[in-house]
Amino acid sequence: MAKSTSKAKPYPAAGSKAPAFSAPASDGKTVKLADLKGKVVALYFYPKDDTPGCTKEACGFRDAFDKLRTAGIEVLGVSPDSTSSHRKFIDKFALPFRLLADEDHGICEAYGVWQKKSMYGKEYLGVARTTFVIDRDGTIAHVFEKVKPDGHEQEVLDWVRQNLN
Protein backbone atom coordinates (compact mmCIF):
# COMPACT_ATOMS: atom_id res chain seq x y z
CA MET A 1 0.00 0.00 0.00
CA ALA A 2 1.44 3.34 -1.01
CA LYS A 3 2.07 5.90 1.68
CA SER A 4 0.75 9.35 1.02
CA THR A 5 1.10 12.56 2.91
CA SER A 6 -0.78 15.75 2.31
CA LYS A 7 2.02 17.97 3.57
CA ALA A 8 5.39 17.65 1.90
CA LYS A 9 8.46 17.33 4.07
CA PRO A 10 11.13 19.87 3.24
CA TYR A 11 14.12 18.72 1.27
CA PRO A 12 17.07 17.68 3.42
CA ALA A 13 19.42 20.67 3.38
CA ALA A 14 22.88 20.82 1.89
CA GLY A 15 25.30 20.04 4.70
CA SER A 16 22.98 17.52 6.37
CA LYS A 17 23.42 13.76 6.41
CA ALA A 18 21.71 12.15 3.43
CA PRO A 19 18.73 9.99 4.50
CA ALA A 20 19.71 6.32 4.49
CA PHE A 21 17.97 4.07 2.00
CA SER A 22 17.93 0.53 0.71
CA ALA A 23 16.11 -0.16 -2.54
CA PRO A 24 15.84 -2.76 -5.28
CA ALA A 25 17.72 -1.72 -8.39
CA SER A 26 17.21 -2.40 -12.06
CA ASP A 27 20.19 -4.80 -12.06
CA GLY A 28 18.49 -7.10 -9.54
CA LYS A 29 20.67 -6.02 -6.63
CA THR A 30 19.77 -3.98 -3.57
CA VAL A 31 21.41 -0.57 -3.38
CA LYS A 32 22.13 0.90 0.05
CA LEU A 33 23.39 4.42 0.54
CA ALA A 34 25.86 3.11 3.14
CA ASP A 35 27.50 0.96 0.44
CA LEU A 36 28.19 4.06 -1.67
CA LYS A 37 30.41 5.75 0.92
CA GLY A 38 33.56 7.01 -0.77
CA LYS A 39 31.69 7.90 -3.97
CA VAL A 40 30.02 11.09 -5.13
CA VAL A 41 26.41 10.20 -5.91
CA ALA A 42 24.02 12.07 -8.18
CA LEU A 43 20.69 10.81 -6.82
CA TYR A 44 18.09 12.07 -9.24
CA PHE A 45 14.36 11.72 -8.63
CA TYR A 46 12.00 11.66 -11.59
CA PRO A 47 8.25 11.03 -11.92
CA LYS A 48 7.88 8.11 -14.35
CA ASP A 49 9.77 5.83 -16.70
CA ASP A 50 9.45 6.39 -20.45
CA THR A 51 7.62 9.72 -20.33
CA PRO A 52 8.88 12.72 -22.34
CA GLY A 53 10.63 14.79 -19.65
CA CYS A 54 11.92 11.78 -17.74
CA THR A 55 13.28 10.21 -20.92
CA LYS A 56 15.01 13.46 -21.87
CA GLU A 57 16.63 13.68 -18.43
CA ALA A 58 17.71 10.02 -18.40
CA CYS A 59 19.14 10.25 -21.92
CA GLY A 60 21.05 13.38 -20.90
CA PHE A 61 22.69 11.43 -18.08
CA ARG A 62 23.29 8.56 -20.54
CA ASP A 63 24.97 10.81 -23.11
CA ALA A 64 27.22 12.38 -20.46
CA PHE A 65 27.84 9.11 -18.62
CA ASP A 66 31.53 8.77 -19.50
CA LYS A 67 32.25 12.34 -18.37
CA LEU A 68 30.24 11.83 -15.18
CA ARG A 69 32.05 8.57 -14.42
CA THR A 70 35.44 10.16 -15.14
CA ALA A 71 34.53 12.89 -12.62
CA GLY A 72 33.85 10.13 -10.08
CA ILE A 73 30.07 10.51 -10.06
CA GLU A 74 27.78 7.52 -9.53
CA VAL A 75 24.42 8.27 -11.17
CA LEU A 76 21.31 6.70 -9.64
CA GLY A 77 17.76 7.44 -10.77
CA VAL A 78 14.80 6.98 -8.41
CA SER A 79 11.11 6.78 -9.27
CA PRO A 80 8.02 4.97 -7.98
CA ASP A 81 8.20 2.54 -10.93
CA SER A 82 8.93 -1.17 -10.49
CA THR A 83 12.27 -2.80 -11.31
CA SER A 84 10.55 -4.46 -14.28
CA SER A 85 9.51 -1.05 -15.63
CA HIS A 86 13.04 0.24 -15.00
CA ARG A 87 14.60 -2.65 -16.95
CA LYS A 88 12.34 -1.92 -19.94
CA PHE A 89 13.23 1.79 -19.75
CA ILE A 90 16.95 0.97 -19.55
CA ASP A 91 16.75 -1.47 -22.47
CA LYS A 92 14.73 0.90 -24.66
CA PHE A 93 17.13 3.83 -24.19
CA ALA A 94 20.43 2.00 -23.45
CA LEU A 95 20.83 3.65 -20.05
CA PRO A 96 24.20 2.71 -18.50
CA PHE A 97 23.29 3.43 -14.85
CA ARG A 98 20.99 1.85 -12.28
CA LEU A 99 17.45 2.93 -11.51
CA LEU A 100 16.00 2.35 -8.05
CA ALA A 101 12.41 1.22 -7.48
CA ASP A 102 10.65 3.24 -4.77
CA GLU A 103 7.18 1.77 -5.14
CA ASP A 104 6.09 2.67 -1.58
CA HIS A 105 7.51 6.23 -1.94
CA GLY A 106 9.64 5.80 1.19
CA ILE A 107 12.82 7.22 -0.35
CA CYS A 108 10.88 9.98 -2.10
CA GLU A 109 9.27 10.94 1.21
CA ALA A 110 12.58 10.83 3.11
CA TYR A 111 14.10 13.22 0.56
CA GLY A 112 11.03 15.48 0.51
CA VAL A 113 10.28 14.98 -3.19
CA TRP A 114 6.90 13.24 -2.80
CA GLN A 115 4.79 16.34 -3.09
CA LYS A 116 1.38 17.69 -3.92
CA LYS A 117 1.26 18.58 -7.60
CA SER A 118 -1.45 19.77 -9.92
CA MET A 119 -2.19 19.27 -13.58
CA TYR A 120 -5.24 20.43 -15.50
CA GLY A 121 -6.79 21.64 -12.23
CA LYS A 122 -6.44 18.27 -10.47
CA GLU A 123 -4.25 17.81 -7.41
CA TYR A 124 -2.32 14.60 -6.82
CA LEU A 125 0.82 13.37 -5.08
CA GLY A 126 3.88 12.76 -7.22
CA VAL A 127 7.62 13.15 -7.55
CA ALA A 128 9.05 16.66 -7.79
CA ARG A 129 11.98 16.42 -10.21
CA THR A 130 14.97 16.96 -7.91
CA THR A 131 18.63 15.90 -7.80
CA PHE A 132 20.76 15.51 -4.70
CA VAL A 133 24.54 15.46 -4.95
CA ILE A 134 25.79 13.34 -2.05
CA ASP A 135 29.47 13.63 -1.19
CA ARG A 136 31.91 10.82 -0.38
CA ASP A 137 31.02 10.99 3.33
CA GLY A 138 27.26 10.63 2.77
CA THR A 139 26.47 14.31 3.27
CA ILE A 140 24.17 16.22 0.95
CA ALA A 141 26.51 18.58 -0.88
CA HIS A 142 23.93 20.25 -3.15
CA VAL A 143 20.23 20.11 -4.01
CA PHE A 144 18.97 20.90 -7.51
CA GLU A 145 15.27 21.76 -7.12
CA LYS A 146 12.64 22.11 -9.85
CA VAL A 147 14.99 20.49 -12.34
CA LYS A 148 14.53 21.17 -16.04
CA PRO A 149 15.54 18.02 -17.98
CA ASP A 150 17.41 19.83 -20.78
CA GLY A 151 21.08 20.07 -19.88
CA HIS A 152 20.64 19.02 -16.25
CA GLU A 153 23.40 16.41 -16.48
CA GLN A 154 25.85 19.20 -17.40
CA GLU A 155 24.71 21.27 -14.40
CA VAL A 156 25.47 18.31 -12.12
CA LEU A 157 28.83 17.66 -13.76
CA ASP A 158 29.87 21.32 -13.60
CA TRP A 159 28.81 21.65 -9.97
CA VAL A 160 30.74 18.54 -8.90
CA ARG A 161 33.85 19.56 -10.84
CA GLN A 162 33.81 23.03 -9.25
CA ASN A 163 33.00 21.96 -5.71
CA LEU A 164 34.00 18.36 -5.00
CA ASN A 165 37.04 17.59 -7.17
Q: So which residues are the catalytic ones? A: 54
Strands annotated E in 4-72: 22-24, 30-32, 40-45
Position 138: which residue type? G
The closest alpha carbon to 33, from 136, 155, 152, 165, belongs to 136
The closest alpha carbon to 45, from 102, 156, 141, 129, belongs to 129
Reduced to 3 states (helix: H, G, I; strand: E, B; else coil), residue 117 is strand
The closest alpha carbon to 114, from 26, 16, 45, 28, belongs to 45
**Helix count and strand count (H, E) for the chain:** 5, 9
Q: Give the separation between CA 61 and CA 75, rounded to whole angstroms.
A: 8
Q: How far apart are the first and last CA of the chain?
A: 42
